[in-house]
Structure 1
Amino acid sequence: MNYLPRSSTADERTKLDYEAIFGNDNGEDEDPKILAGYFLEHQSFVKALDKNRRLEIVRARKGMGKSALLSHLKYRLTEDSDPIDPEAIVIKVTGNDLIGLADFSGSDSSKIENRWKQVICKRISMEIANQIGFAASNDTMSLIEAAEIEGLKGKNLVSGLMSRIGSAIDTASKIATNGALSIATTNPTDIDTLGYEHILRRIQKSKERNVWLLVDDIDAKFVDTSEMQVRIGAFFSAIRSLAFSVEGLRARVSVRPDVWTSLRMMEDQDKLRQYITEIKWSDDHLRKIFAKRILSYLQRNGEIAYDAWNEQEDYTRIVNQIFSGQFRIGAEKGSDPLQVAMMLAGKRPRWMGQLCKQAGSAAGDFLIQQRHFDAVMSSFGQEKISDLIKEHRHQFSELQKVIDAFRGSEKSLTKFRLLSLLDRGFVNKIGASNVPHVNGFPFKTTDQIAELLFEIDLIVGEKQGKHTQFQTDPTLFSSEQNSQNKIPWIVNLSYRKFLGIQ
């Protein structure tokens, strides 16, 4: 594709709102209709959107679209013009929301698993009660007993939980009327009484109604301790058990791959692998997503002519509404501006949007040019290194010191030079005996640290002239080719300018 320079003066075009163009940083906070306008439903999402599948675990790194997928699924289920499951009860929560409903301390995995089942049923009960107009509270909807959970097996979840909700309403009715009124004595046609009985019976008869439980960030603030491993591992065992023992429950859960591999104590991990949906974006996927974002903005705020455009046939014209001039990756000029943004942002959709917004802020009333990316890369790199450390601190507690060892280093390093840099700039400084565990294992060789840096995308390998990430070729570092110093290792473009690597 040829991206020719064009004028970028403000008086020749409508003023652009770069914040609105590149969307909310967090998919879960985006307006659902706007998100639907640019959401790309590629093949890997088919299972997550299938209402016949009881459980799906969405796995991807931060900023790759896990939250956006769950938010879009919530919209598609009941709010879309052609809903997937229009009668469903949809509950979207975070892991912290559920953890706040009970005490999860302890190390007995069977007890913690049962507690998770209790909490999940409690949260669903609260949602059902709210939907029928009963103001349920944490206290009103006490934890469901283990015997009650056993009684739910083989039954429809909604109708199975209604009897205990009815009991809660009955208790509240008696308290509110000093014992003068119970649910059994209410008249469904009398607006002056509580009138819940007919609602309960109607819902109990609805055998086909599903509950969709969408749990985002179950691994938030994960720390690699035995207690945290038991807590998160027990959650997955509990959700699998419930999904396949009761009728009408559909569970979708997001988790980071680094946390998933850290759950060494989870007995059911091999049984759960078949339910994993990996989010992986190709370069073409990312270009299409951002072309759809731009076009969605233009169609909402621009001329009627934009309505006839689409992200494939009009790709170049769409890009030229936002970007101007020659773009380059390294010495290669005439590059696609979105490809440049993609490479600079480490191929993470969230980071890519953040970088484009920062470049837009630098551009002000002008179209975004290469110089605007250049102007923000140092501050962007500092911000993303901070994010990277927070994301992977549980894998290696001294990540900041390791990253500092790369300051002012060479652009490309063989394995030998890479290990020498890490030894000189980190291991020898603190002493090998003081190096903390790497990915849960005691430190033995510097190779462990280098391989972790590849896994978290601080560095990428260069294979056949292309930057190769861990998710593309996970065994590249341990390959024979690398042991022979034939693989150059390069610090990710996102961090290079901040670290002073030319």
Structure 2
Amino acid sequence: MARSEIYFGHPDASISVDEELAAQHVFRDIENRLKWDKRDSGIQVVVGIKGSGKTDLRRYMESRGNPYKFNLDGEHAYLAQDVSGIEETSGRIKNAIAALLLQEFAHRVGDSSKSNAAKALAKAFEASTSVLKRIPNAVDLQVPGVTVRLGELVRPDATPILQGAVNQLITDVVKALSGSGRHGAILIDDVEDVFPGIDHNPLFLEGVVRAVAEINNRGRNNLHALLFVKHGLWRAWFETQKEYDKVSHVIDFLTWDHASLVSLIAKRIARRHEIDDHGHFDAEELWAKEFTWGDERLDDFAHYCTQYCSSGPRDMIKLCNLAGVEAGSDLIGRSHIEAILGGYSDEKVNGLNSDFGDTYPGVNGFVTHVFHGAPARMTGNDLAQLINERALLVPDVHRQYRDKRWYAYATKEGLAKTMYQVGVVGFESPSGVTYAIEKPNISTADLLSKNVVCVHPAFRPNLSII
């Protein structure tokens, strides 16, 4: 039977159903390092590029431990208030965000159940609302329900009342949960939708991260808060941060390598063929049910596939789905992958702006200006010079980007680093070529010192790079 466009599953984990996620999740060590379940410390902020599996990881963690949970994401942006103009210290922002998160957790869980814990949380919400009303204009009484104005909470004169409200809230919430047998969970994804304008105010993210750390520190193993952040937004904060050292120990990065991508497809084939692997499977046996690699070894054929995946799992699933449609009911081979690479590459270049446009608006056009017809391999210094000659020194290109913050204040060396951050280039090492999906952070000096910098194969067909 011919394969559909989602034969290997949805590239977007937000669309998948819970039982699919549990069966297809590729376990890595980060799951055991997150602050969750009975752990009272651990990683609390997960950074990853779009398509690297942040939502999949969030939903997988939700399925473990049966928590009282409160989700904030693009579809549940209950706190949505423009934060682009809030320029208070991250300490004041921390207190305000902690109050909002704890209030909404108590409110939502309190309304969702008739358990003793939920009743106690409902009382905690009512008590904290009474306290916050003592801050002038902080609570909007003109709309149904309770809406707290974030801008009023961060005012310096609100600090004493706000701090008292946070202290009482965390005490009441932890007390409500401690005897229930279930922990609480606050999970924040798509932070740029939850807090509109944060991409123009990266220091606000520092306050959000500090609020998450404060809730986790005082919630111990009764209450967990996890934050999932796009790499571009994290980078913008890191380059302007003031109190990063206070929270760096709770931040980690979502990475993928060749082996984990091979496992990803193997698990999806097992699911498709209703094979229960019980946590153990033979990747070659499973791949052979859908792919053919002739006289090659599976690892060589799989490397041919994974080399086109700059964003990790989303790309791998998309590539296999497209090749599957091309193959129809036949086993998928190299010829089918080659046949779809042109369209796939067009999507990759055009998709750069949807993936990274919040932080680097117009980056797809910039990549086209710089790399069209360029060499596939060059030195790190040659990359910086290429950017200089094709962008900074070209009046038309310079005018197009000079009003964009990521470009306006950057050097050719800094822009070379940006090209690595968005996955367009990587560097060669004794173990192979390394891209941002495997090693998210590298210093500008290290990148420029590389003898071989490569344009990612996923972008080469669109950019006419041979």
| Coarse TM-score class (shorter-chain normalised) | 0.7 to 0.9
Q: Give the structure 2 partner of residue 407 of structure 1.
A: 372
Q: Which ranges of structure 2 fall in alignment gaps of 5 or more residues?
A: 126-142, 150-160
Task: Count the aligned residue pairs.
Answer: 421
Pair 1:96–1:39, CA change in 2 (3 A): closer
1:287 corresponds to: 262
Of 407, 420, 445, which residue of structure 2 is paired with 1:478? 445
Match of 1:179 in 2: none
Partner of residue 426 from structure 1, selected from 386, 391, 402: 391
What does the per-residue CA deviation read over 1:237-277, in whole Å, with 9 as the maximum and x for residues that have no partner?
Answer: 22222332346321111112332232155444212111123
- Please state if 1:380 is matched with 2:350: no
In structure 2, the CA distance between the partners of 1:342 and 1:49, relative to structure 1 (3 Å rule), is farther
Partner Cα distance (1:490, 1:221) in 2: 36
In 2, the alpha carbon distance for the partners of 1:18 and 1:158 equals 50
CA contact (8 A) 2:70 2:109 kept: no
CA contact (8 A) 2:94 2:208 kept: yes
Residue 271 (str. 1) matches residue 246 (str. 2) = yes
Within a 5 Å distance, the mapping from 1:117-196 to structure 2 comes to 117-132=98-113, 139-143=144-148, 146=162, 147-157=164-174, 159=176
1:416 offset after TM fit, Å? 5.0
Change in 2 beyond 3 A, CA 1:19/1:49: farther
The match for 2:321 is 357
Question: Does the CA-based 8 Å contact 1:402-1:425 persist in structure 2?
Answer: no
Using the TM superposition, give the Cα deviation of residue 374 of structure 1 relative to its aligned residue in structure 2, in angstroms: 1.3
Q: 1:462 to 1:343 in 2, by over 3 A?
A: same
Asked if 1:53 corresponds to 2:20, the answer is no
Distance 1:327 1:478 in 2: 42
Residue 252 of structure 1 corresponds to which residue in structure 2?
226
Which of 64, 67, 76 is residue 97 of structure 1 equivalent to?
76
- Do 2:102 and 2:169's aligned partners in 1 also have CA atoms closer than 8 Å? no
- Segment of structure 1 superposing worse, 377-386 or 221-230: 221-230
Structure 1 counterpart SS, 2:388? helix
- The Cα offsets for residues 309-349 of structure 1, whole Å up to 9 and x where unpaired, read as 9754x322211111124498xxxx87544332211122611
Partner of 1:177: none
5+ long unaligned stretches in structure 1 = 1-14, 79-87, 160-202, 300-305
1:227-246 alpha-carbon deviations (Å, 9 max, x no partner): 62243222122222233234
Which has more radius of gyration?
1
Identity of aligned residues (%): 17
**1:57 and 1:253 in contact (8 A); partners too:** yes
Name the SS of the counterpart of 1:91 in structure 2: strand
Contact preservation (8 Å) 1:94, 1:217 = yes
Of 441-450 and 276-285, the range deviating more from structure 2: 441-450
Partner of residue 66, structure 1: 54
User: TM-score, normalized by length of structure 1?
Assistant: 0.73
- Indicate yes or no: 2:173 matched with 1:234: no
Query: How far off is 1:155 after superposition?
Result: 4.1
Match of 2:452 among 466, 479, 488: 488
CA RMSD of aligned residues (A): 3.6
2:10 alignment partner, one of 2, 20, 24? 24
Q: What is aligned with 1:200?
A: none
CA distance in 1, matches of 2:276, 2:172: 48
Instruction: Specify the code of the residue in structure 2 equivalent to 1:89.
Output: Y
Is the Cα–Cα contact under 8 Å of residues 80 and 193 in structure 2 kept in the other structure?
A: no
Provide Cα deviations, 1:260-315, integer angstroms capped at 9, x if missing partner.
Answer: 2321554442121111232222322221222111112111xxxxxx4579754x32
Q: After the TM superposition, which of the residue ranges 378-387 and 93-102 deviates more from structure 2?
A: 93-102
444 and 17 in structure 1: CA distance in 2 versus 1, 3 angstrom threshold = closer
Instruction: Report how far residue 356 of structure 1 moved.
Output: 0.9
Among candidates 228, 231, 236, match of residue 262 of structure 1: 236
Secondary structure at the aligned position of 1:67 is classed as helix
Q: Tell me the secondary structure at the aligned position of residue 342 of structure 2.
A: helix
Correspondence for 1:389: 353
How far residue 350 of structure 1 moved from its aligned partner, in angstroms, is 0.8
